Amino acid sequence: MSRKRWVVLALALLMIGLAWVGVLGARSGLVVRQIARSDVPLIYLAPQNQTRVPGVLIAHGFAGSKQLMLGYGHVLAHAGYGVMLWDFSGHGGSTLPQRDSLQADLQVAYEALVAQPEIDATRLALLGHSMGSGSVMTAGIQQADRFAATVAISPTGAKVTPESPRNLQLQAGSWEGGFITNAERLLDRAGGENENLAAGQGRSLVLIPKAEHITILFRQASHQAALRWLDATFGRQSSSLYIDRRMAWYGLHLLGWLLAMGAILPSFARSSPALSQVSKFQVRSPIRRWGSLLVSALAASGTIPLLGGGKNLAALGGVQVGGAVALWFGIAGILWLGLLTQFLRPTLRALLLGFSVFALLWIGFGLMAQLVWLQWWLIPTRLALWPWLALGFLPWFLASGMAQQDISGGSRIVWWLGQSIALVLGIFLMLQFSPQLGFLYILLPLFPLFMALFAYVAALLNNTWGYALGCALFFGWAIAAAFPLAS
């Protein structure tokens, strides 16, 4: 490597090291326990050397995990609470098939929480996001004598009344639209704004500025609003100055890892002259490149509902929603390859490069994510789904790699933008025909971010099969990790 690349690599390693210090430092002063109870995986956080602290159950939303809610867990634990987070059945690291009711998993978490030596079982509260908000509100209604407060973030539905659940705080992001309307409806049914927390009749709606359904989970305003509500409920005044910056440290880690890849990969990923000549011939025509992309995306959106034929697309292949995503990519990718009219045969070197790229992306993206926001390690059931999901994504990335081969840096930015628009438009149209996949509306903004990551990898490699295999394996793993298992 050149001297410049060595300098970049050194800087990247420094960033990665600082990020790990920051993430692990967030646990300083806390008790952290990994627990498995009745096949429900749990994480428990509490302040060290304290007893008889209030306890809080924290529930994630659909396609979430206990890791996704750790921001609230760290803020509350540093402020003197003991918190229990868990994976609902079918989610995260849970090996249980998805149940019709979420309350059984919540009951397991409750029993685990009150069994911890730091917890005062007479002072308990609930906090949940989206799907989890419905579960905690239901528990707060059914067991009003057990839970003194409930915080419902991006709330769904529950049969709230002016009496139950006790001390209900509703939160919604200012960019959440329908969830704001739903929160206002719940507040009205619960009796409207009320500051009488001492009697258990507290009611409040908090709008979190510039937040939508996912980013609200990482906003300090949301964390602190929940903390203030619980403190007011229990008559406490927390002196903690902790602010959860773990996602910022994760971003620094990811940036450092991408810089490290940029320093290392180009030295090992130069395409052979023969491969470059074939690739140039395939992407010479801008009309073919752009036209085939758009036609393939639109055609896939219309084809999937026809293939569904009344079948449950939302549970396709054993993974909810994610299976339909892989099917869309597979159909669009095959059509795109057909319209490009050429196919590149893989070489052993390109395949080895692809597995190496997957390994680098897997470590850089996921190793810290396991501690910050995502259940990255796959249980056996999810691991078995990974190969076919990756296979579904492979045609798209193969066609994308062929179209991007040997283009310049500025053109890659244009290509990333165009591919992102075609992808989002195609999936948006698919949702018009398949409303059972409506959860994808929330995730649409994430697809351009993934495409940006993959465009960067394409620029580093300039090797069609290495790029396609590495990205397909990585994206398949991400989908297998994130989406719930079908019952």
pLDDT in tens, 233-245: 999 998 899 999 9
Residue 49 pLDDT greater than 60, yes or no: yes
Reported as a single tens digit per residue, the pLDDT across 87-143 is 999 999 998 877 777 999 999 999 999 999 999 999 999 999 999 999 999 999 999
| DSSP code of residue 485 | B
In 1-95, which residue ranges form alpha helices assigned H by DSSP? 3-25, 70-78
**CA-based end-to-end distance of the chain:** 51
Residue type, 130: S
Mean pLDDT of 294-322: 83
Question: In this predicted model, what pLDDT tens digit does every residue of 58-70 receive, in sequence order?
Answer: 999 999 999 999 9
Residue 282 pLDDT greater than 50, yes or no = no
Tokens of 57: 């159950």
Q: In angstroms, rounded to a whole number, what is the distance separating the alpha carbons of residues 404 and 8?
A: 25
Q: What is the pLDDT of residues 412-432, one digit of tens each?
A: 899 999 999 999 999 999 999
SS3 for 233-298 is HHCCCCCCCCCCCHHHHHHHHHHHHHHHHHHHHHHCCCCCHHHHHHHHHHCCCHHHHHHHHHHHHH
What percentage of the chain carries pLDDT values higher than 90? 80
Report pLDDT digits (tens) over 193-217. 999 999 999 999 999 999 999 999 9
Pairing of the two strands 203-208 and 119-129: unpaired
Q: Is 170 helix (H, G, I), strand (E, B) or coil?
A: strand
* Residue 176: predicted pLDDT: 94
Going by pLDDT thresholds of 50, 70 and 90, the confidence category of residue 308 is low
Contact partners, residue 74, CB within 8 Å, separation at least 6 = 26, 27, 30, 45, 242, 244, 246
Q: Which of 147, 123, 145, 120 is nearest to 135 (CA)?
A: 147
> 454: pLDDT confidence band, cut at 50, 70 and 90?
very high
Calpha distance 123→56 (Å, rounded):
9
| CA pair distance 274, 279, nearest whole angstrom | 9
Q: What is the pTM of this model?
A: 0.93
Closest CA to 314 of 201, 434, 147, 229: 434
What tokens appear for 454 in the block?
């993959």
- 270 pLDDT tier (thresholds 50, 70, 90): low
Q: How far is CA 294 from CA 300, 369, 413, 423, in A?
A: 10, 33, 17, 9
